[in-house]
Chains A and B, each alone.
Chain A
Amino acid sequence: MIEVTILKIGDTIIVPIQTELHDLAANFLQENILKKIEKVGARGLIIDVGVVTIIDSFMGRVLVDTAKMARLMGTETVIVGMKKEVVMTLLQLGLMMQTLHTALNIEDGITLLNRLTGGNHERSII
């Protein structure tokens, strides 16, 4: 089975998807992410799809479902790095993914997570 690295930095779990995942591998990854959340706890989850060349209806659903499941465990999810071709194709396919939080890159994703979870950045402004 294809292994995807799952990192934890502070309160955030970061999952850089580095390879094309087939359906079973995507399901396996979803399970491992939830396992990691259960084991270590996290306020935020960032899934980096920057090198993923296509997101079809199955992969799209796995991403949406993973975010919903993570939320039920108290973890907010941000998908980062979606390529413009992937985004244009997703819309044409009819997969809107409105429920997902997204950001351009990991840095913006962390900023967004801080806002979503009421992290340090937000507090220091006021």
Chain B
Amino acid sequence: MKGPSSKDSLDISVANYEDVILARQKARELMQSMGFSLLAQTRMVTAVSELARNMVVHAGRGQMSVNSVEKLNQKGIECIFQDKGPGIQNIDQALRQGFSTSNSLGLGLGGAKKLCAEFDIQTTVGKGTRVTIREWKTR
């Protein structure tokens, strides 16, 4: 069985910090049109900001796709971040609060995980990283 079925889909190339803002806007637009609460929007868009920035900082560039998804009559938003960067050596370490390889606060990846209902990460050293986050609308 495949994951949740996808309806609307949008791909954005993220190569610089201005693209990060664009990625945030696109995720927010879809959530607004789906009627997500302002808090849900803020949390998800903050996670999008962290993950889109990670692609720029660690991989130089990447792709984000924003999709509206459905499972068991529940509507949701899904964002997939895919890069061909160096990958992550130790995921547990990378997800830990305060861990950073780039002189940042180290809240990005772990923070994004905490902000979303669903978080999935697949990474291969030397090949790249793919992070999927989802948020479901409460009825």
Contact = CB atoms under 8 A, between A and B. Distances in A.
Interface residues of B, number: 26
**Chain B interface main SS type:** helix
Contact of B114 (A53, A85, A92): A92
Nearest to A64: B105
Contacts of A40: none
A38 interface: no
Interface in A49-98: 53-58, 60-61, 83, 85-86, 88-89, 92-95
Interface in B56-112: 97, 104-105, 107-108, 110-111
B104 A85 contact: no
Interface stretch (B2-10, B45-53, B118-126, B129-137): B45-53
Interface of B: 17-18, 20-21, 24-25, 28, 38-39, 41-43, 45-46, 49-50, 53, 97, 104-105, 107-108, 110-111, 114-115
Interface of A: 20, 22-25, 53-58, 60-61, 83, 85-86, 88-89, 92-95
